[in-house]
Structure 1
Amino acid sequence: MASSSSATRKRAKSISRKASFVFFLLILLQIPLFRIPCRFGICKSPLQVTSSQLIESRYIPQFVMKALLYPGVVGKAIYKRKPLPSYSRVLNLYKFKKASSRTDYYYLEVLVGSYFAVAGAFLGLVGSWRLSLSGILLIIWGIAKEAVLGQRGIRDHSSAYIYPTMSIALVLAFFSVKGDVQRLIRCFTGKRKFKYV
Structure 2
Amino acid sequence: MASTRGKMSTIAARIYFFLIIFQIPLFRVPCRSGMCTTPLEVTSSQLVANDIFPAVVMKALLYPGAVANGIINNMTIPRWDNILNIYNLTNVKEASPVTELQRLEVLAGSYFSVAGALVCLLKPGRMSMFGTLLVIWGLVKEGILGKPVNTDPTKAVYVYPTIVIALVCAFASVKYDVKKITGGSAPVRTVAKPLKSSAKSKLK
TM bin (shorter chain): 0.7 to 0.9
Q: Tell me what 1:22 maps to.
A: 15
TM-score (norm 2): 0.81
TM-score with structure 1 length normalisation?
A: 0.83
Task: Tell me how far apart the structure 2 counterparts of residues 40 and 103 of structure 1 sit (CA, whole Å).
Answer: 10
Q: How far is 1:85 from its partner?
A: 1.1
Match of 1:64 among 57, 69, 78: 57
CA contact (8 A) 2:102 2:148 kept: no
Q: Which residue of 2 aligns with 1:36?
A: 29
Count of aligned positions = 175
Greater shift, 148-157 or 89-98, is seen at 148-157
Query: Is residue 32–residue 97 contact of structure 2 (8 Å, CA) maintained in 1?
Result: no
Q: Aligned partners of 2:50 and 2:31: how far apart in 1?
A: 14
1:132 aligns with 2:137: no
Q: For 1:153 and 1:174, how far apart are their aligned partners in 2? A: 31
Secondary structure of the residue that 1:42 maps to in structure 2? strand
Unaligned regions of 5+ residues in structure 2, if any? 180-204
* Of 41, 44, 53, the match for 2:46: 53
Indicate conservation of the 8 Å contact 1:32/1:163, yes or no: yes
- Distance in 2 separating the partners of 1:151 and 1:102: 13
Structure with the higher helix share, 1 or 2:
1
Tell me whether 1:120 sits opposite 2:116 in the alignment: yes
Q: C-alpha offsets along residues 150-192 of structure 1, whole Å, 9 cap, x if unaligned?
A: 2356433662111000000001101100118x79xxxxxxxxx
Equivalent in the alignment of 1:186: none
Residues 1:13 and 2:6 are matched in the alignment: yes
C-alpha distance in 2 between matches for 1:152 and 1:114: 18
Identity between Structure 1 and Structure 2 (%): 47
Per mean C-alpha deviation after superposition, the further-off stretch among 95-104 and 161-170 is 95-104
* Alpha-carbon RMSD: 1.8
Which residue is 2:172 aligned to? 175
